[in-house]
Structure 1
């Protein structure tokens, strides 16, 4: 069972749908949602300080205002290894751009690139 999942997406409706899908799947316990990458980074940075449970799985949208997904990944890669070690970071995006997919494969901390919408079949 995955203890903690982060869902980072600026669209509330998409967050709601994806959270429901993740919740219906029996392998996930806690689902935390963030409307921006910067708020999610603040959460991740507080893990050691507040003894907050670190996520095992992060779903990240690419196209967000303010800090986009690529900028989040750049900041994420600079976090303490104790925070990022063992996490799976999955890009969950509407982008089907081959450049985005190729770029994601070149980043060590990115485990997969999935096109929206998320589904139970994908989670299996």
Structure 2
């Protein structure tokens, strides 16, 4: 099965890498890339409930300017349940310190935490649960 993906990362290089890994996996029907989490949130809000596929994935970096990953998650969990249920969030981050991990564990909307650099093996391990 193929899924739509939303990639949120302020680094154009990391976005390119994640997009390539998603593409090579053969699991994507569409990939939207956002370098600003606030724009991605606006896109999700504007899309609403009507045109949503049954399941989409969001890959989210944590350390970003403008709106960081934690701020995105705080806003995301305020969305209607019918929208939240359609997304699986995968954190892709360099930060693997205990404080960050504990803070992330408080968000029930997170499906997985993957440490950068992302590889095909790390990616497919998360996505294959839904195939």
Task: Note whether the superposition's TM-score is higher than 0.5.
Answer: yes
Question: How many residues get paired?
Answer: 124
After the TM superposition, which residues 1-124 of structure 1 pair with which residues of structure 2 at under 5 Å, given as runs? 1-48=1-48, 51=51, 53=53, 56-124=56-124
Q: Deviations over 1:75-106 (max 9, x none)?
A: 00001112111321111101011111122122
TM-score of the superposed pair, with normalisation by structure 1:
0.91
Q: Deviations over 1:49-69 (max 9, x none)?
A: 783657611110000001100
Distance 1:104 1:115, change over 3 A: same
TM-score of the superposed pair, with normalisation by structure 2:
0.86
Answer yes or no: is the 8 Å Cα contact 1:47–1:54 preserved in 2: no
CA distance in 2, matches of 1:80, 1:48: 9
CA distance in 1, matches of 2:49, 2:98: 39
CA distance in 2, matches of 1:77, 1:56: 16
Q: CA RMSD in A?
A: 1.7
CA distance in 2, matches of 1:16, 1:64: 16
SS in 1 for 2:117: coil
Answer yes or no: is the 8 Å Cα contact 2:49–2:83 preserved in 1: no
Q: Which runs of 4+ in 1 moved over 6 A?
A: none
SS in 1 for 2:58: strand
Answer yes or no: is the 8 Å Cα contact 1:105–1:112 preserved in 2: no
Structure 2 residue runs without a partner (length 5+): 125-131
